[in-house]
Structure 1
Amino acid sequence: MPELPDLQAFSHNLTKRLKGKTLKEVIVTVDKKLKASATELNDALAGHELEKVERAGKELRIDFKGGHSLGLHLMLHGNLALYNEGDDKPKFEIITLAFKDGTHLAMTDFQKAATPTLDPEESKVPDALDADASALAARFAKTKTPVKTVLMDQKVLRGHWQRLCR
């Protein structure tokens, strides 16, 4: 499972590699977790230029010009693969973004649990890497719950603190 620093690095590197590229099409291989159809994804995203990739909690958000974004939650075993048209495709593709220049970004998961979401909702829960120390201190003062349990509660902090809490 990718941790917050991994996702932060993914967002930085994907923005560097894909910013300014125009999406040709969204290829949906597994629609099990989709809340929007492949047609809706293509109508919203195809033909638009990628602006940036950001991390929001445990999700990557790919923002496109035109106002739409695609959220990618890798869950436990999800991965991302960048490849060029004509290269061997990665195994276990869930969704692939095919850009006009031949670059492809695939989200893969052998368990088929990784989740793509069109225009994911913004969360009001603070991000674990941007949390306000005084707000956390106030939260801890109000509870007898162990610190680790509070830090791992996604209703308190978005993201996963498991490695920091061991």
Structure 2
Amino acid sequence: MAKKSIKVVVEGGNVKPGPPLAPTLSQLGLNVGEVVKKINEATSQFKGMTVPVTLDVDTDTKKYELSVGVPTTTSLLLKKAGANEPSGDPEHKKVGNISIEDVIEIAISKKPSITALQLKGAVKSILGTAKSIGLTVENKDPKVLVKEIEEGKYDEKLREAEGKWNS
């Protein structure tokens, strides 16, 4: 029983039956249209966002399992801000503003793939990404919020969300 794992990053709900996915699926003897349809169904809630997808294929039986990961931090942040793409000049051109609650929510959703052990560290990491793509948080530079978090200004909000982080 030979297994092959294919990892791809796709736009949620908008996978097309062409390269680079189609040739790989064809080589494994899979029905490209069927697999693409299943990926689109599985990623439809992440429409317009970049999502990692893994296909585990049994090359003997042609059966496969599909698993959808969490969208990229950038995709989640842009969706919350209602922005289409990151700023080409994040220092001077802002593309949107989000709340600290949005940042906490994204940190919790990214827990499986984030290296931070504590929610506070994860939130600071998400703030770094927000800064790099041209977002403000609470109408401030995300760097200012990192400092405020270190000073304890958001400890109560973080404590409230700790239960979701630890579950």
**TM-score of the superposed pair, with normalisation by structure 1:** 0.27
Higher helix proportion, which one? Answer: 2
Which of structures 1 and 2 has the bigger CA Rg?
2
More strand by share: 1
